[in-house]
Amino acid sequence: MAIDRNSVIKEAQKLAGKGQFDKAIAEWRKLVKEAPNDANIFNTIGDLCLKKNAKAEAVDAYRRAADILAEDGFTSKAIALYKKVLNIDPEKIEVHLALGDMNADKGLTGNALESYKKVADHYKKKSDMPRALGIYQKMADLNPTNIAFRMKLAEMYLKEGMQNEAVKAYLDAADQHVAKDAFHDARQNFEKVLAIEPDNKEVYHKAGIVYFKEGKFAEACKALKPAFESDPDNQDLINLYLEALTKAGRAGDADEVYKKVLSHDPSRYDLHEKLYQIYIARKDYDKALKEAVMLADRKAEGMDFEGAAAVLKEFIAVTHDPMAGAIALAELFSKVGRATDGARELLSVADVFIERGSPDDAREVLGRASLLAPDLYEVKERLEGLAGTAQP
């Protein structure tokens, strides 16, 4: 049978008015069974417990009310109740911690740091350094620009044998140095990290950033290479490394970076495009053709036949041996059942060579076109036009 809430409340209030606090509390506790997550009920019970000087019971009730409010997102009300708890029992460390977390969430940094310090001091006094350090870390994260605190935290971590945490603290401090252009101080932190973890690749990445900012691009490349090799999917790192290579006059080495990335993600056609341009610039036509074919195939898969032809026609235009590109173009269009279209594309390539005064190249391309579309009269017409042209 459901409890008549209004009747219970009236009875509880009447009993409280007579000073019969135990009986009043008993009435309120009846409502807890019906509404176990009603913070107002626990707050009222806490007030009644306090009136009868049952401080421990009051603390328990207020904490329960505060926990409910915190869970429901009523942070300000929860904070007020936690403070009521601390007014009764200032040694409730878990409450100080809860206050610190909630004030931190609300952006009340000063209040949060005050609460955290009490908690950290408590654990330190108890010689519970792992927990104390966990709180110090919260404090450091709340005030990231306090480099001295982070350095001290790193040293404490080291003293406790917590090397991973020490490394992170040193690197966090280094980030702050970099933000202030204090590059020398940042490098000192990197040295501290490498003394702990000689193979820490994150240091190399951060050192690369520092060298890059200083304009020391050769040093940046040297630092960024091992960082990239350990984390080839990090796009920010990739971009920085490539820019450093370019500024160091080593743009030609970029192809190794692209190939490494493509080994992890072959679908990066933007990188295939960059590789193609690198190989063309080097006049490494064999490698360039492979990339060109891959790019053309990609466009053809998307039904962009004009774009596919443009890729291979560009290759044909710049290479000293156009036949390889012409064959690739012919094969591409033949493969997708558009042989006549392929022949017409080859015809346009031949026209370019004719205008350029390269009849032999034009003749070879037209020969490939005639294999694709033997009855295409334009091909025959061009070949007849070239018939009187001297051949070697």
Residue ranges of domains in the chain, CATH in brackets: 1-90 (1.25.40.10), 299-392 (1.25.40)
Nearest by Cα to 261 from 243, 247, 275, 280: 275
Q: Of residues 241 and 259, which shows the higher confidence score?
A: 241
Q: Give the whole-angstrom CA distance, residue 392 versus residue 31.
A: 107
CB atoms within 10 A of CB 370: 18
Q: Where are the beta strands (DSSP E) in the chain?
A: none
Q: Which two tokens stand for residue 232?
A: 């080839």
The stretch 344-364 carries a mean pLDDT of: 83
pLDDT of residue 301 exceeding 90: no
Q: How confident is the model at residue 321 (pLDDT cuts 50, 70, 90)?
A: low
Buried b or exposed e, range 216-242, using 16+ CB within 10 angstroms? bbebbbbbbbebbeeebeeeebbebbb
pLDDT of residue 154 exceeding 90: yes
pLDDT of residue 1: 54
Residues 6+ apart with CB under 8 A from 264: 232, 233
> Where does residue 303 fall: left (phi above 0), alpha (psi -120 to 50 degrees), or beta otherwise?
left
Q: Which two tokens stand for residue 98?
A: 């809860």
Residue 264 burial by CB count (10 A; 0-12/13-18/19+): exposed, middle or buried? Answer: exposed
pLDDT of residue 265 exceeding 90: no
